[in-house]
Amino acid sequence: MSLSLNPETTARTSRADTVATTARQVGVIGGGQLAQMMAAAAPGLGLTLMAQTPSAEDPAASHAHGLVLGPLAAPDSVRELARQCEVITCENELVDLQTMAELADEGVLFRPGLAALKALVDKRRQRELLDSLDVASPAWIGLKEALRKPARLAALGFPLMAKRCRGGYDGRGTEYIPNRVALEALAMGVDPGEWYLEALVPFERELAVVAARSSRGEVRCYPLMETHQHQRVCHWVQCPAPVPHPVEARARTIIASLLESLDYVGVLAMELFLAPQGLLVNEMAPRTHNSGHLTIEAAGTSQFAQHLRAVSGLPLGPVQLTAPGALMVNLLGFESHCGDYRPLREAIADLPGAHLHWYGKAEARPGRKMGHVTFLFSGASTESRQRELRQRLAALEQIWPRPGGGP
């Protein structure tokens, strides 16, 4: 598999569905912070955004043009969303593909398309797709198959990571499996058909790449990012990633190939491991992604505006960084609490160069993403940017503790 990609854009003839004019009314299934930031970007593009979400207290309510209240992807709710919008997209993978397929048969336009979503909302299907395209990922096996075929499991070895095929995020739906006893305990408490196992990768860095593809086949890829996890939840992201150029070039080639092979329309995010054997694809997200939040301040077009451009039929925007680099830090809940943290938020906002985004969630709990803050780097060299990163993290952690403490 190979595909050359200009760092800025690649134009191709698309097989994707098209609309004669720009879709000005966009619907999003989901009402969390991703939908919130998408809704904030819509007016600047001349678009309106409706969010279908369970509660009028969800983050998207603060910026959406309107709400359709109801369970995610419930037929009646999505049908009402479709009645008010010209195109529908998603902010998460917790969707009912069967319901969406029935609506698509009636002419409702979904972007990304349902064939792409089917391949990506299930993580085991992601692995099967990567295998079919000969894209390297951590060695894996279905849990049910592992229980039936001890030889296959022995070839994988321990320790392992167990992952739920659907619904897992922010550390949920993953389990560390150090030995056979732990594996058997997991198998006793879950449906083995809904989990898979993967080899534990001794990676050097965790990376992410975010790209978009339009309905006309235009592709634009943001610079490669490095992510850092705390207790299996993303803590901070820096861009550009401090890696050699061939690593970034390979990541761009992989994501461009996936966008093309899936006839994908919208923003796609891909998480990778930089391991001794090279780049390994960990997971993909068919939507805007936590790793791309820094593009709001640090890129010519934010990932949220880019996704709206793609799904509505507008041309894609520029993706170059507007500063030498950037750091985004998630403000993760460090306690169970129902306050608004105003004093802490004001202290963070007062940090030099801080761009604070607060999601307005009613309740905090350990590890929950309550907001994020972005800092732009001024240093031109990798070494100077790494110094800035350490200084920014140290200053922030004097105000906002990490959940559970530790490095």
Rounded Cα gap, residues 223 and 111, in angstroms = 24
- Flag whether 86 is marked binding: no
Supply 197's token pair: 């196992």
Q: Which residues of 137-164 are buried (b: 16+ CB within 10 A; e: fewer)?
A: bbbbbbbeebeeeeeebeebeeebbbbb
CA distance 244 to 252: 13
* Tokens read off for 334: 């460090």
Q: Are strands 233-239 and 205-213 parallel, antiparallel or unpaired?
A: unpaired
| Closest to 5 measured CA to CA, from 289, 232, 217, 201 | 217
Is 330 annotated in a binding site? The answer is no
| Amino acid at position 347, single letter | A
Q: Any binding-site annotation on 393?
A: no
Rounded CA separation 214/315 (Å): 7
151 is in an annotated binding site: no
Closest C-alpha among 130, 143, 128, 139 to residue 180: 143
Residue 363 annotated as binding site: no
Instruction: Outline where 50-171 has alpha helix (H).
Output: 75-84, 97-105, 114-120, 123-132, 143-148, 150-156
Residue 42 tokens read as 């819509």
Backbone angles phi, psi at 197, to 5 degrees: -115, 145
The answer to the question of whether 206 is labelled as a binding residue is yes
Distance from C-alpha of 259 to C-alpha of 250, rounded to nearest angstrom = 14
Burial environment of residue 52 by CB neighbours within 10 A (0 to 12, 13 to 18, 19 or more): buried
Contact 53, 35 (CB under 8 A): yes
285 touches 268 (CB < 8 A): yes
- Is 282 flagged in the annotation as binding? yes
Q: Which residues are annotated as part of the binding site for ATP?
A: 123, 163, 198-201, 206, 282-283
Q: Which residues are annotated as part of the binding site?
A: 123, 163, 198-201, 206, 282-283
